[in-house]
Amino acid sequence: MLVALAGGVGAARFLRGLVRIVPREDVVVVVNTADDDIFHGLHVSPDLDSVTYTLAGAEHPEQGWGLAGETFAAMEAMERYGAPTWFRLGDRDLATHLYRTELLRKGATLSEATERITRAWGVGSRLLPMSDDPVSTRITVRTAAGGTTELRMQEWFVRERSGPPVVAVRFDGADEARPAPGVLEALDQADTVLICPSNPVISIGPILAVGGVRETLRRRRARVVAVSPIIGGAPVKGPADRLMGPLGIEVSCVGVAATYADVCGTLVIDAGDAARAPEVEALGVRAVVADTLMTDARVAAALARHTLDAVA
Amino acid sequence: MLVALAGGVGAARFLRGLVRIVPREDVVVVVNTADDDIFHGLHVSPDLDSVTYTLAGAEHPEQGWGLAGETFAAMEAMERYGAPTWFRLGDRDLATHLYRTELLRKGATLSEATERITRAWGVGSRLLPMSDDPVSTRITVRTAAGGTTELRMQEWFVRERSGPPVVAVRFDGADEARPAPGVLEALDQADTVLICPSNPVISIGPILAVGGVRETLRRRRARVVAVSPIIGGAPVKGPADRLMGPLGIEVSCVGVAATYADVCGTLVIDAGDAARAPEVEALGVRAVVADTLMTDARVAAALARHTLDAVA
């Protein structure tokens, strides 16, 4: 049994490759929920949905979120009411949020809702939210006027397009959040724990912050392998550089290694970063070189193979 | 100032004619909300929306509900989850329900939400829900097995296509419901109160059942004029016949007159029903004959003119 820690698009693409080389039912994915937010009263779980839609083969091929062939009639109509529509919810995607919100309102946990949604999409693998308790990433940014203000993740990332300079990041609720049922057991029993090429600060960071996760991974460190989302000093997609730098983490595979050093014995770095392998290993993390730019599912599958072999 | 009591499609078509002959801002519409229901966690107000969309000129030209050019991507996607989708919510219509539900959740009244929605659509007339308190039409029907069961209005009308024979109707919550702010004042001060050609049992009935409405109209009876929704023994649209008959109301303009006799001094009946005028008048209701089949907005305007003239 393999367990993968996952954020959004990078993780989804990696997992799409992974399930080409191992049976889907052998994979448990623990997904970040600290980006979850409420829009128009609906509980939106961006990372759970990205992984679900991608494993179902229904993801939008380019944009990194949402469904292929999606329409936006509801959001366009919402503009008439002056309601904030900067977070674009597609019409078919809305069904997911309506369904999840209704289940939660009726007393289901996020785990239970996720189980139903992934089953409906025929995902095949088990997706676990990192926690059924609310955890919310809050980003303190510098304002144009020179002060600071705290934004929710989607406000900073989507509404503000990662523009405002980051001062600090915290995971509201993480101290009290319990891991979702099955998370610690899965981490404990996994043959291998894969840390997907996701944002180490705000995608993997919240998972590690949930009670017991970091401790469990430390114990399993030899069986934990991460894939660096940073290639040649820049993230493949997303705002990792805008978060790592200000938080004193070098925007490189070395910075990723430093972030994961206590929980992760092996880091897969890109072939282009091979020269930095000694610096990674100086942190006590074994460096393995591979092609990490997942241009298509076949490359992603090869990367997944390399990653598993790295700790075989 | 004119006040109209309104249900769904029949009322909407009549009002579309009315605002051709009087300034929109002189019209206050008191709308049935006993058909309101919750679908996928969203507060749906079918009659408020039918009137809103029609007065905005955005209504579907044939089907009697929803928006012109509507799409149903969200509902189709919802089917994947096995959620009940017999009540078809269009994608653009969903925006209305999301917006209303969010306002209500944040503490707004249905009146306040309606004010915002109608303003966004440029309705021009004031729409008042009959009450901000929940009232819900419940229809007791005979089951195939010979027993009885109670259905909500939309379950009976939409899901069961008005099939199960009606035994009884009640308006759950009506005893405690207070009229929405402005309703009694408007009825009291109106030059004329129009009862639109809506279902007398389940569209106008609930409005009359809200505390103080019937009493106020009795006092204003000489200034109240109704338009019969029944032409030649059948409703123009909708299930009025399936409700009136079993409740002991003749399915005719005479039955309508009997239902409204205590609150309404004048009834507009169709030219085809002219022979029944004496029976209407025998109930103490003045009968006025007109063409009541609203084949287009021009006919509706002529009917509205006749109706106003009837109590001029």
pLDDT at A65: 87
pLDDT at B237: 83
Q: pLDDT above 90 covers what percent of chain A?
A: 95
Confidence check: pLDDT of A124 > 90: yes
Q: Cβ A78–B98 below 8 Å, yes or no?
A: yes
pLDDT at B31: 98
Within 8 A of A66 by CB-CB distance, chain B residues are none
Q: How many angstroms separate the CA atoms of B99 and B48, rounded?
A: 14
Closest alpha carbon within chain A to B117? A81
Q: How many angstroms separate the CA atoms of A240 and A254, rounded?
A: 14
Confidence check: pLDDT of A258 > 90: yes
Q: Cβ A94–B80 below 8 Å, yes or no?
A: no
Closest alpha carbon within chain A to B78? A95
| Cβ atoms of B41 and A103 closer than 8 Å | no
Cβ neighbors of B32 (< 8 A, separation 6 or more) are: B5, B6, B7, B8, B47, B130, B198, B202, B203, B204, B206, B207
Closest alpha carbon within chain B to A90? B74
pLDDT at B65: 87
pLDDT band at A237 (very low <50, low <70, confident <90, very high): confident
Q: What is the mean pLDDT of residues B173-183?
A: 98
pLDDT at B32: 98
Confidence check: pLDDT of A164 > 90: yes
Which of A42, A80, A96, A104 should we substitute to test contact with B (largest number of B Cβ atoms within 10 Å)?
A80
pLDDT band at B299 (very low <50, low <70, confident <90, very high): very high
A169-187 pLDDT tens trace: 999 999 999 999 999 999 9
Closest alpha carbon within chain B to A41? B102
Q: pLDDT above 90 covers what percent of chain B?
A: 95
pLDDT at B24: 98
Q: Which of B38-47, B229-238, B303-312 has the least mean pLDDT?
A: B229-238
| Cβ atoms of A308 and A26 closer than 8 Å | no
pLDDT at A64: 81
What CA dihedral angle connects A53, A55, A57 and A60, to 10 degrees?
A: 40
B104-157 pLDDT tens trace: 999 999 999 999 999 999 999 999 999 999 999 999 999 999 999 999 999 999
Q: How many angstroms separate the CA atoms of A166 and A164, rounded?
A: 6
pLDDT at A312: 86
pLDDT at B236: 86
| Cβ atoms of A12 and A6 closer than 8 Å | yes
Q: What is the mean pLDDT of residues B8-28?
A: 96
Residue in B73, B80, B102 nearest the CB of A91:
B73
pLDDT at B307: 97
pLDDT band at A61 (very low <50, low <70, confident <90, very high): confident
**CATH ID of B183-310, from 3.90.1560.10, 3.40.50.10680, 3.40.50.10190, 3.40.50.300:** 3.40.50.10680
For residues A264 and B234, which has the higher predicted lDDT (pLDDT)?
A264
A-B CB pairs within 8 A amount to 93
- What does DSSP assign to residue B39? E
Task: Single out the residue of B27, B45, B206 nearest to residue B123, CA to CA.
Answer: B27
| Cβ atoms of A208 and A217 closer than 8 Å | yes
pLDDT band at B271 (very low <50, low <70, confident <90, very high): very high
Task: Single out the residue of A255, A276, A267 nearest to residue A306, CA to CA.
Answer: A267
- Helices (H) and strands (E) counted in chain A, each on its own, are 13, 14
| Cβ atoms of B77 and A92 closer than 8 Å | yes
pLDDT at A236: 86
Q: What is the CA radius of gyration of chain A?
A: 18
User: In the predicted model, what is the mean pLDDT of chain B?
Assistant: 96
Q: Which of A211-215, B61-65, B190-194 has the least mean pLDDT?
A: B61-65
Confidence check: pLDDT of B25 > 90: yes
Q: How many angstroms separate the CA atoms of B91 and B72, rounded?
A: 5
Confidence check: pLDDT of B238 > 90: no
pLDDT band at B63 (very low <50, low <70, confident <90, very high): confident
By a Cβ cutoff of 8 Å, what residues of chain A touch chain B?
40-42, 71, 73-78, 80-83, 90-96, 98-99, 101-102, 105, 116-117, 120-121
For residues A233 and B36, which has the higher predicted lDDT (pLDDT)?
B36
pLDDT at A62: 84
